[in-house]
Amino acid sequence: MTEKNEAQRTIPFPHGGIIVLVGPSNSGKTTLLRRLVEEGVLLETEMVSSDTYRTLVGDVEYLDWKGRPREEADIIYNDYQKLSGLAFEAMNTVVSMRSRLGKLTVVDATHLQPEYRRKYIEIAAGHDLPCVAWVLDVPEQTLLARDKTREQPRGRQRVKSQYSQFKRSLRGLREEGFDFTYMLKEPEAVQFVRRDNPLLADIGAGIDVIGDIHGCYDEMLELLGELGYAADEAGLYRHPAGRTLVSVGDVMSRGPRSLDTMIFWKRHFDAGIARMIDSNHGWKIARYLSGRNVTLSHGDENIAAELRLFEEEAGAEAAAALKEELKQFLLSAPSHLVMCRDGVRRLVIAHAGIRDEYIGRQSRRVQDFCRYGDTDGMDAAGAPVRKEWYTGHESGELIIWGHDPRPYPAVVKNTINIDQGAVFGGALTAYRYPEQEFVSVKAHRDYAEDPDSPLIRWERGRFAPPNLGKLVNGYSVFTDAYGEVSVRGDYVKSAVDSVSHYTVPLEELVYIPPTMSPTPSVSADESYLEHPQEAFDYFRSQGVTTMIAEKKHMGSRAVLLLFRDEQAAVSYIGRPALGTIYSRTGRAFFDRETEAQVLARLNADLVQAGYFTRYNTEMLLLDTEIIPWNLKARELIATQYAHVAEAAKMDREHLLVKLRQAEAAGRDVSGWVQEMEAKLQSVQVFRQAFQQYCWDVSGLEGIRIAPFHILAHSGQSFFDHSHNWHMEQARLLAGISPLFMETEYRVIRSGADEADVIKWWQDMTEDGHEGIVIKPETFITKNGRHMVQPAIKVRGRKYLHIIYGIDYLQPDNLKRLKQRRTSKKERHALMECALSVESVNRFIRKEPLERVHECVLAALALESDPVDPRL
């Protein structure tokens, strides 16, 4: 740095890293640091001093051997060298630890020799931090004069020796590898400042992060309109709530209007309403505009053509000015942004991704990683082989990135890719935060016209097996309904084991029926554990005005995926098939022969009724209940329920006989007799509760399928339709095939409707039926931003004997059961519902198998998280 008037100089602190003070004893290093602490620009904890660490290690700051006999001086000198070595070892350990945390550390020592300075350059580089040298170049006479005033003078000879060493070391100092070197002749006159870290930004009123635009200017403006931005009188797009636009980079190249797009982002950045991240194409164009010898390819040559056209129209002077402005804008783009709220890092935006240890750091290695991602050479076609850096993401920040086009936003381990290949004919995507919402617009056309584009390669590999390495240690799925759903690695591994050995093929496993919670609070009626009134009260408290109550069949939950014909299945599951039927755990519901018969019959009935033609669909996806219960629960009934009922009956009949004999003999056991008679009656209720739902089935005779959710047709899901609509569609299906049956239901709008449903529930459950399910009118209902329970099951008194035991209605037992907690079950119900909606929507959009599977696997993983199975 030039030695201009020191009083005119302002030296900034780096935001993190190491500042190495260089100067002989008495040059004012410690004095300068004390001044900076007093001025409030440096924390005492940010300083480490060799003198301090000598004291910490050996209780003394300095050992003076001057004036001693030679044999004594040698011993003291050796002790001092040993002490200094250990002090520096301890100090450098602290410097390394602070660097690991990205902290600023100022090292106060003489550092007269290059090898002593080099270790700090290496430490800083190893942690991707800058290393700065502050060189205090004070005249020799000043050093000697100051030494005389020290409590422990270093001595004239030593000061002169250090000064000589210092002057010699200056010759190669600038080539040692410091990021910045500042020469300070009058440090007391220099102003030192702390500035905000340019990598940190506040979320403020919210941000909208836009994926790779690549010159798709018209699509960008269309997306801004969808996000609520509008142009002001100056042509700047502003949001009425004061939100900020952020680009993940690559706003240029390949597309038709790269120059307009770059100018747009520069203008909005200058106005303080937008930010843009550095990127691989941006870096190349910056070097091109700097006059560097770069090869323009992959659409970058389009920018050169646009600039030539601009020069023809506006003139050479205007073109030169524009190039300079764009060059400075691109060169100033940060490698990544760390968005904070209340001082806490919430999300990180980087073009091609970022490793956890790079977040908040700035170095050439960090810049290159953020521009290009983690690559492993080139493939045979010359494309980079991308490594999945995101599998190692463990810190809490959400990372938003682009660069690697995917057909749909990819959410893996708290990272989201929002490059949906707009320039390749895909879509331009924005991610809204803190709303955690995606907004996208379709590209107007395929501008790149690349026959081997990333989106085409993705389609070719649509049915490729999922990369479980990204999932087995835990991951997140972003859902529209619930937001982010995270699953732990140990639960994922359990689900992977199930999928690997027991479920239907992955391409057929497209939806896992979500669990349902019972009433959040138990019945206020002392004789009931569950009652509809508590469900009504819950939904009313959530602002729900219309509900629907559906009769709950005592059967087994099943998913039916039905195709118009075998060939129609190919584009959905990759092979010909009429369909599949599986349980809520993903296992085949029937044996192969029975499944083939059921599918053939349903297909024949649906085709004959013209169902697929009428609704212009190739497929039908249903959430159903299949009865009788013993179709799937035969072993459970035989080994548990029937055995328990028989044993209890025999035991209690025997005890009742003995009690009556005792009563006949004059013993006062009437209370016990009454108690045992009641318990024997409970056994009878228990037997009736499960036997009512079991009957023999031969072939298709006796099998009944009750649909209650018409999940999807080709290209369309029905989660936005009311439950009343779903019930009416189920009624139509029951009229098409004798295998289908309709479900009784009631619509609830008033207190009178509630009373009617309560009586209906009491009558049916006293007759032995399981109970009802109460739902809000719409499939996904929210109270503000929070999702409301999608369904609450209310089971009858008699049926609950199966769940809680023969004697659950005994007063002491019922009192204890009323202490149950349902909060975890409620959370699971919400998350599983959101995952099921997400998986169906991805399936009908024909997203890659991996995208559908991550939702399904997450739902199965949640089922591995222990919850009271009786709820």
Which CATH number is 117's domain given? 3.40.50.300
Residue 737 sits in the same domain as residue 754 = no
Is 602 a domain residue?
A: yes
Is 297 a domain residue?
A: no
Last residue of a domain, one of 677, 710, 742: 742
Highest mean pLDDT range out of 296-300, 337-341, 493-497, 549-553?
337-341
Confidence of residue 2 (pLDDT cuts 50, 70, 90): very low
Confidence of residue 657 (pLDDT cuts 50, 70, 90): confident
Is 282 a domain residue?
A: no
Last residue of a domain, one of 146, 178, 193: 193
Q: Which strands, in side-by-side order, build the sheet including 336-341?
A: 200-202, 336-341, 344-350, 398-401, 415-417, 410-412
Residue 424 sits in the same domain as residue 570 = no
Is 13 a domain residue?
A: yes
CA 621/CA 727 separation, integer angstroms: 15
Is 500 a domain residue?
A: yes
Predicted TM-score (pTM) of the model is: 0.66
Residue 57 sits in the same domain as residue 187 = yes
- E-only strand ranges, 480-546: 483-488, 517-518
| Domains of the chain: total | 6
Cβ-proximal residues to 306 (8 Å cutoff; 6+ apart), any chain = 257, 258, 259
**Over residues 182-207, mean pLDDT:** 91
Residue 760 sits in the same domain as residue 649 = no
Give, in order, the Cα–Cα distances in Å from 506 to each of 477, 502, 842: 18, 11, 14
CA 447/CA 389 separation, integer angstroms: 29
Residue 759 sits in the same domain as residue 807 = yes
C-beta of residue 212 within 8 angstroms of C-beta of residue 250: yes
C-beta of residue 859 within 8 angstroms of C-beta of residue 836: yes
Confidence of residue 857 (pLDDT cuts 50, 70, 90): very high
Find the distance separating the first CA and the last CA of the chain, reported in whole Å: 72
Is 283 a domain residue?
A: no
CA 108/CA 131 separation, integer angstroms: 14
Residue 655 sits in the same domain as residue 803 = no
**495 HSE (CA, 13 A, CB side):** 31
Is 285 a domain residue?
A: no
pLDDT of residue 639: 55
Residue 129 sits in the same domain as residue 20 = yes
Residue 575 sits in the same domain as residue 506 = no
**801 HSE (CA, 13 A, CB side):** 28
pLDDT at 442 over 50: yes
Q: What is the CA radius of gyration of the chain?
A: 37
Residue 547 sits in the same domain as residue 559 = no
Residue 701 sits in a domain whose CATH number is 3.30.470.30
pLDDT digits (tens, 9 = 90+) for 153-176: 777 888 888 888 888 888 888 889
Q: Which of 100-104, 139-143, 417-421 is least confident?
A: 139-143
Is 289 a domain residue?
A: no
Q: Report the DSSP pairing between strands 410-412 and 437-442.
A: unpaired
Q: Which of 300, 318, 302, 229 is nearest to 268 (CA)?
A: 229
Domain hosting 426: range is 200-277+303-460
Residue 49 sits in the same domain as residue 76 = yes
Of 488 and 631, the structure prediction assigns the larger pLDDT to 488
pLDDT of residue 698: 61
**Over residues 53-74, mean pLDDT:** 72
- Phi-psi group of 449: left, alpha or beta (phi > 0 → left; psi -120 to 50 → alpha; rest → beta): left
Both structure tokens of 851 = 């995208």
Of 55 and 732, the structure prediction assigns the larger pLDDT to 732
pLDDT of residue 692: 61
Residue 648 sits in the same domain as residue 624 = no
pLDDT of residue 257: 95
pLDDT digits (tens, 9 = 90+) for 27-38: 888 899 999 999
Residue 327 sits in the same domain as residue 382 = yes
Residue at 659: amino acid letter: L
**Over residues 387-401, mean pLDDT:** 87
